[in-house]
Amino acid sequence: MSNIIKIHAENLNLDLPVYGQKARSLRHSLFARTLKPKFLSPKSSGHTGGTIIHSPDGSSKIRALKSLSFDFQTGDRIGLIGPNGAGKSTLLLAISGIYEPTEGTLDVTGSTAGLFSLDQGMDPELSGRENIIIRTRFLGLPSKDVDHIMNDVEVFADLGEFLDMPIRTYSTGMLLRLAFAISTCTPSDILLMDEIVGVGDEGFMERAQTRLQNLISASGIVLLASHSEPIIRRWCNKALYLEKGECQEFGDVHSVIEAYKEKSRRERGR
Amino acid sequence: MNDTTAKNNRFAGAFADIVSGLSMYPVWSLLASQSIRQRYRRSTLGPLWMTISMAVQMATMGFLVTFLFSHSFQRFLPYLCLGIIFWSFYSTLLNEGAGTFLTYTTYIKAIKRPFTLYIAAMIYKSVLESAHHLVIYVIIAAVFLVVPGKNTLWLLFTIPLALLNVGWSTLFLAIVSTRFRDVPMIIQSSLTVVFWLTPIIYFPEQLGDKRILVDINPIAHMIDILRLPILNQPPTNLNLWVAIGMAIGGWYVTMKMFSRYRTRLTLWL
B30 touches chain A (CB under 8 A): yes
Q: Cβ distance A233 to A239 under 8 Å? A: no
Residue range A172-190: mean pLDDT, rounded: 82
Report in angstroms the alpha-carbon separations of B111 from A32, A246, B115, B240: 36, 25, 11, 40
Residues of A in contact with B30 (CB under 8 A): 133-134, 137
Does B111 contact A121 at a Cβ distance shorter than 8 Å? yes
Kindly tell me if the per-residue pLDDT of A33 is higher than 60. Answer: no
If contacts are CB pairs under 8 Å, which of residues 66-95 in chain A contact chain B?
Answer: 93
DSSP 8-state class, residue A166: B
Residues B182, A25: C-beta atoms closer than 8 Å: yes
Kindly determine whether residue A26 and residue B180, on different chains, have CB atoms separated by under 8 Å. yes
Q: Does B181 touch chain A (CB under 8 A)?
A: yes
Residue A223: C-alpha distances to residues A4, A29, A189, B18, B29 (Å): 17, 40, 11, 31, 33
Query: Do the Cβ atoms of A72 and A6 come closer than 8 Å?
Result: yes
Q: How confident is the model at residue A120 (pLDDT cuts 50, 70, 90)?
A: confident
Q: Which residues of B touch A112 (CB under 8 A)?
A: 112
Half-sphere exposure of B235 (CA within 13 A, CB side): 28
Whether residues A130 and B27 touch (CB distance < 8 A) is answered with: no
CA B120, B121, B124 angle in degrees (round to 5)?
80
How much is the pLDDT for B188?
93
Interface contact A137-B30, CB threshold 8 A: yes
**CA-based angle A123:A126:A131, to the nearest 5?**
70
* Gap between the Cα atoms of B248 and B168, Å rounded: 10
pTM more than 0.90: no
Q: Does A123 lie at the interface with B, CB-CB under 8 angstroms?
A: yes
Q: Burial level of A29, CB count in 10 A (0-12/13-18/19+)? A: middle
Task: Judge contact between A220 and A190, C-beta under 8 A.
Answer: yes
Q: Give the phi and the psi of residue A127 in degrees, each rounded to 5.
A: -75, 165
Residue A86 confidence class, pLDDT cut points 50, 70, 90: confident
Q: Report, as an integer, the average pLDDT of A62-68.
A: 87
- What is the nearest CA distance from B101 to chain A, expressed in angstroms? 13
Residue A128: what residue type? Answer: G
Task: Find the DSSP H helices in chain B.
Answer: 3-23, 25-39, 48-69, 73-97, 100-103, 105-108, 116-143, 155-179, 183-196, 212-215, 218-230, 237-261, 265-268
Q: Which residues are CB-contacts of A7 (< 8 A; sequence separation ≥ 6)?
A: A70, A71, A72, A95, A106, A107, A108, A109, A190, A221
Query: Residues of A with CB below 8 A from B106's CB?
Result: 119-123
Is there a contact between A86 and A95 (Cβ–Cβ < 8 Å)? no
Q: Is the pLDDT of residue A137 over 70?
A: yes
Q: Phi and psi at residue B181, in whole multiples of 5°?
A: -75, -5
Q: How does residue A268 score in pLDDT terms, banded at 50, 70 and 90?
A: confident
Per-residue pLDDT of chain B (269 residues; tens, 9 = 90+): 567 888 888 899 999 999 999 999 999 999 999 888 887 777 777 778 888 888 898 888 888 888 888 778 888 889 999 999 999 999 999 999 999 999 999 999 888 899 999 999 999 999 999 998 999 999 999 988 888 889 999 999 999 999 999 999 999 999 999 999 889 999 999 999 999 999 998 888 888 888 888 899 999 999 999 999 999 999 999 999 999 999 999 999 999 999 999 988 998 88
Chain A nearest-CA residue for B39? A125
B25 touches chain A (CB under 8 A): no
Contact with chain A for residue B108, Cβ under 8 A? yes
To the nearest 10 degrees (0 to 180), the angle between helices B116-143 and B25-39 is: 60
Nearest C-alpha in A relative to B107: A121
The residues, ordered by sequence, that sit 6+ positions from A111 with a Cβ below 8 Å of its Cβ are: A188, A189, A190
Interface contact flag, B110 A121, Cβ < 8 Å: yes
Cβ B267–A99 below 8 Å, yes or no? Answer: yes
Q: Do A25 and B268 touch (CB under 8 A)?
A: no
Q: Is A248 on the interface with B (CB under 8 A)?
A: no
